[in-house]
Amino acid sequence: MRAPVRQGSFDDLGTPLSEVTFVVVDLETTGGSPTTDAITEVGAVKLRGGACLGTFGTLVNPGRAIPPTITVLTGITEAMVVRAPRIEGVLASLVEFVGDAVVVGHNVRFDVGFLQAALERAGRPPLDNATLDTVALARRLLRDEVPDCRLGTLAERLRLAHRPSHRALDDALATADLLHLLLERAGSLGVTGLDDLRSLPSMAGHPEAAKLRLTDRLPRRPGIYLFRDRAGRVLYVGKATNLRSRVRSYFSTDERRKVGALLRETARVDHKVCPSTLEASVLEARLIRTLTPPYNSVGTRWSRRPYLKLTLDEAWPRLSVVRSVRPDGGLYLGPLGSTAVARTVAEAVESVVPLRRCTQPVRATPSRTAPCAAAQLGVATCPCAGGADAERYAEHVRRAAAGLTDRPELLLDPLRERMEALARDERFEEAALARDRLAALSGALRRRQRVGRLTATPRLVVQVDGGEWAELRHGVLWRMWGDRGAPARRVEMPPEDLPRPGEPVSRELDDELACVASWLDRHAASVRLELSDVPLSSPLPRLDDYRPLRPPRRPARGRD
């Protein structure tokens, strides 16, 4: 049974190791299974700041025969435990002795597993203490000095004051000596807090582990960080709720291929503390847009994002993927993630509304002798060969325009119905295509709704993260201040122009406004609204997310 992981606060994790209380625990048992075997002896040592604060030791009556092999190994006989207390009578005192200390063991999962099983059988709540394994630490810090990391080998080679004897308290004292030596070694790698120590086993073996010293001065606070090369060029920009933990994770839990190359080029890590995660997110987006760091793949391609345009400025409007917004009377949707996404959205609209797909200019006299392929298939109303009704086509255009603005159900409902009908007919490939188009269109409209509510609000003041107050102007984070009446400060790198209500968002501001909208959505239950020039409610219906479900990602190794 694995012990639950206690989620500490930033203050807990950042406590200097000299102020952390550790309890080293060692158990002797009748065998190796917590479900079928029992505890025969308990030993524990409490430590803080290099000093021993106390010990705990007792034999335990397992309530069953002790196998001869265990007696030979430990020296514990049935005669020795016959008058000893049962584990139920020991647990209360042991739990009180442990308290909220970090539980340490040499292969700590074994000892904690037996304790959790005993607590469960006794009807007691499980331990939720943080744990630390000296085996894992020794493998990282001492593997070049010893043939193996058995406790007896380490005690002999490192000349520890106490030697293990397969008796619980002796082994706990030897493990305590080992812990003190490991803490000294860990200090050379910039380990100063509990979070550093617990993540060290997965970091110390990293090819760039020597660069862990670059993280020594990073605080455990929200903010943004910048990886720089020897010339000072910014390689990567990121945000974090805990700067120190996030940057150090690049040396352990982040297995993306580009991370190794990034760390090899990195010579310095700069940071800026932000009072709130909102400011950190916005500042990250602004820095990425301004600096275009080579290792930031997300956020650096904003200049290539296209728009989908309904060309209302011509007689027979059609959908077109364009690179810029012009004051030509057209209806624009976007910016969208890529040209492929824009084309998928266009296909979604065209599969519901038979807009023309010809790109040739429309003339009074048709220049083609036959309709285009889309018209011949009956999926488009194209005037390319004559015979199209202008008034009926205008109805199609009005329907498309309404679906892209204030009546999204005109487009989404037919797509959803088609997807469901194809699925019922077991035409799954066609149903998947309809679903992809539906998801792309719904996503584009949903993003437009979220950002549109913000850009239509001239001034919005909210309290963020239960602390600072923030002023948004047309969705742009403008000012922040600590308390009412306190001087306000401008958020760094404000945009030159604010978004205009009712107009498409510029590519430059799209990521920033999207992260503000996402932050407000995530914290809707806790954000305190101080002022809004206009109502924040939207008359538009809530749009579903039709993207296919993805299997859950495996948690990264070493991350709490």
41-45, 206-210, 330-334, 345-349, range with the lowest pLDDT: 206-210
Q: Is the peptide bond before 541 cis (omega within 30 degrees of 0)?
A: no
Domain with 272 in it: 207-303
Is 130 found in the same domain as 172?
yes
Q: Which CATH number characterizes residue 139's domain?
A: 3.30.420.10
pTM, two decimals, is 0.65
- How far is Cα 329 from Cα 315, in angstroms, rounded to an integer? 12
Asked if 294 contacts 235 with a C-beta cutoff of 8 angstroms, the reply is yes
Q: How far apart are CA 87 and CA 529, in angstroms?
A: 55
381's CB contacts (< 8 A; 6+ apart) are 354, 355, 356, 375, 388, 392, 393, 396
Q: Are residues 160 and 264 in the same domain?
A: no
pLDDT digits (tens, 9 = 90+) for 68-81: 999 999 999 999 99
CA distances 18 to 67, 139, 173, 189, Å, are 42, 23, 18, 16
Claim to verify: residue 118 and residue 256 sit in the same structural domain:
no
For residue 200, pLDDT beyond 50 = yes
| Residues 288 and 361 placed together within one structural domain of the fold | no
Q: Do β-strands 102-105 and 131-133 pair in parallel, antiparallel, or remain unpaired?
A: parallel
Q: CA-CA distance, 231 to 197, in Å (whole number)?
A: 32
Distance between CA 521 and CA 215 in Å, rounded?
32
Indicate which CATH number applies to the domain containing 294.
3.40.1440.10
The full DSSP string for 454-497 is: HHT-S-EEEE-TTS-EEEEETTEEEEEESSTTSPPEEPSS--SS
Task: Give a yes or no: residue 5 inside a domain.
Answer: no
Residue bearing tokens 């269109």:
441
Q: Are 345 and 333 in contact (CB under 8 A)?
A: yes
Query: Which residues have C-beta within 8 Å of that of residue 30, sequence separation ≥ 6?
Result: 37, 38, 40, 62, 64, 65, 66, 67, 70
Does residue 99 belong to any structural domain of this protein?
yes
Phi, psi for residue 56 in degrees, rounded to 5:
-140, 125
Helix 409-424 to helix 390-403 angle, to the nearest 10 degrees?
90
Nearest alpha-carbon partner for 214 in 240, 243, 253: 243
Of 261, 288, 303, the position where a domain reaches its end is 303
The secondary structure of residue 85, as a DSSP letter, is: P
Q: Domain for residue 338, yes or no?
A: yes
Task: Assess whether pLDDT exceeds 60 at residue 557.
Answer: no
Residue 508, burial from CB neighbour count under 10 angstroms (0-12, 13-18, 19+): middle
DSSP class of residue 328?
Answer: S
Give burial (CB, 10 Å; 0-12/13-18/19+) of 199. buried
* Helix, coil or strand: residue 535: coil
Q: What is the mean pLDDT of the chain?
A: 84
Backbone angles phi, psi at 45, to 5 degrees: -130, 130
Which pLDDT belongs to residue 560?
31
Rounded CA gap, 159 and 218, in Å? Answer: 36
Residue that terminates a domain, selected from 303, 332, 364: 303
d(CA 446, CA 444): 5
Of residues 369, 386, 376, the one with CA closest to residue 316: 386
Q: Are 519 and 528 in contact (CB under 8 A)?
A: no
Whether residue 436 sits in one domain with residue 316? yes
Question: Which 8-state DSSP code applies to residue 86?
Answer: B
CA separation (Å) from 188 to 14, 149, 267, 320?
17, 20, 18, 60
Element (H, E) at 257: helix 257-265
Of the candidates 162, 166, 180, 206, the residue annotated as catalytic is: 166
Record the tokens describing residue 390, joined without a space. 């202008």
Q: Is residue 124 part of a domain?
A: yes
- Report the pLDDT averaged over residues 219-223: 88
Tokens of 479: 């000012």
Helix (H, G, I), strand (E, B) or coil at 523: coil
Range from 81-85, 237-241, 253-257 carrying the lowest mean pLDDT: 253-257
Tell me the pLDDT tens digit for each residue of 455-488: 988 999 888 766 778 889 999 999 888 766 667 7
Q: What pLDDT shows up at residue 421?
A: 94
- Please give the Cα distance from 413 to 399 (Å, whole number): 13
- The whole-number pLDDT of residue 307 equals 94
Do residues 384 and 366 make contact, with C-beta atoms less than 8 angstroms apart? Answer: yes
pLDDT in tens, 496-535: 888 888 888 888 898 889 889 888 888 877 788 888 888 7
User: What is the sign, positive or negative, of the torsion defined by CA atoms of 211, 217, 223, 226?
Assistant: negative
Distance CA 9, CA 17 (A): 15
Same domain, 336 and 299: no
Q: Please give the single-letter amino acid code of residue 92.
A: A
Q: Is residue 329 part of a domain?
A: yes
Segment 418-424 long-range contacts (CB within 8 Å, at least 24 positions apart): 418/351
Q: Does one domain contain both 270 and 222?
A: yes
* One domain, residues 94 and 135: yes
What pLDDT, on a 0 to 100 scale, did the predictor assign at position 184? 87
81-140 pLDDT per residue, tens:
999 999 999 999 999 999 999 999 999 999 999 999 999 999 999 999 999 999 989 988
Domain co-membership, 42 together with 56: yes
Cα(220)–Cα(252) distance, integer angstroms: 18
Give the domain-ending residue among 140, 168, 194.
Answer: 194
Residue ranges of E strands in 341-421: none
Which residues are registered as beta bridge partners of 57? 43
Residue 538 confidence (pLDDT): 65
Number of domains in the chain: 4
Task: Respond yes or no: is residue 271 known to be catalytic.
Answer: no
Q: What confidence tier does 554 reach under pLDDT thresholds 50, 70, 90?
A: very low
Using 50, 70 and 90 to split pLDDT, how confident is the model at 316? confident
Check whether residue 170 and residue 115 sit in a common domain: yes
Residues 230 and 151 in one domain: no
Residue 556 lies in a domain: no
CB under 8 Å, gap of 24 or more: what pairs does 98-101 form? 98/23, 98/25, 98/44, 98/127, 98/129, 99/21, 99/23, 100/21, 100/129, 101/21, 101/22, 101/23, 101/46, 101/129
For residues 437-455, give the mean pLDDT: 90
Distance CA 517, CA 167 (A): 60
| Residues 65 and 155 both lie in one domain | yes
Residue 75 placed within a domain: yes
The answer as to whether 39 is a domain residue is yes
- Give the per-residue pLDDT at 444: 92
H helix or E strand, kind and range, residue 153: helix 151-157
pLDDT (mean) for 357-364: 67
